[in-house]
Amino acid sequence: MMAGPEEKMANSEVRMANSEVRMAGSGAKMAGSEEKMAGSEEKMAGSEEKMAGSEERMAGSQEKMAGSGEKMAGSREKMAGSQEKMAGSQEKMAGSQEKMAGSGEKMAGSQEKMAGSREKMAGSEEKMAGSEEKMAGSEERMAGSEERMATSSPNDNAAAS
């Protein structure tokens, strides 16, 4: 049996409708694929932003580390300066102690001189006392001579001669 022209046309319309349905499905699939691609591109852009942020953080960390290194170097310089000051102070103290020792030696020398002067003075006083005793003895002898002269009369002298 042969199909009539109307049947053929109806079959053609059914085929066309099926094709349109398939095309619409393909269009929807394409639209879905495009959305997926757009989503993937957004994700990639987000990942790139994250990477850029990470690089910035790393750069910041490196700057901080460099700053810390500079601070440490500064601290070391300060410590070295403090140690130099301490060494200078110790030298000054040693110098002061030497001066004090020298002053002590001078004082000891002065005390020795004073002791020597006192001994000389004591010796001089002893000499003076001895001289006074001699003078007293001389005065006594003179007084004795005067007494003898006074007691002896001129006759005694004449008698003696």
pLDDT number for residue 155: 60
The Cα 40–Cα 35 span in angstroms is 9
- Residue ranges with strand state E in 23-87: none
Banded pLDDT at 5 (limits 50, 70, 90):
confident
Residue 153's pLDDT is what?
65
In a domain, 5, yes or no: no
3 in a structural domain = no
Domain of 35?
10-153
Is residue 64 packed enough to be buried (19+ CB in 10 Å), middle (13-18) or exposed (0-12)? exposed
Alpha-carbon distances of 35 from 24, 25, 44, rounded to whole Å: 16, 15, 14
pLDDT at 32: 93
Confirm whether 2 is domain-assigned: no
Question: pTM for the whole thing?
Answer: 0.35
pLDDT in tens, 42-93: 999 999 999 999 999 999 999 999 999 999 999 999 999 999 999 999 999 9
161 inside domain: no
* C-alpha pair distances (Å), 120 with each of 123, 124, 129, 130: 5, 6, 14, 15
- Is pLDDT above 80 for 94? yes
Looking at the structure of the chain, the number of domains it has is 1
What confidence score (pLDDT) does residue 160 get?
56
Residue 138 lies in a domain: yes
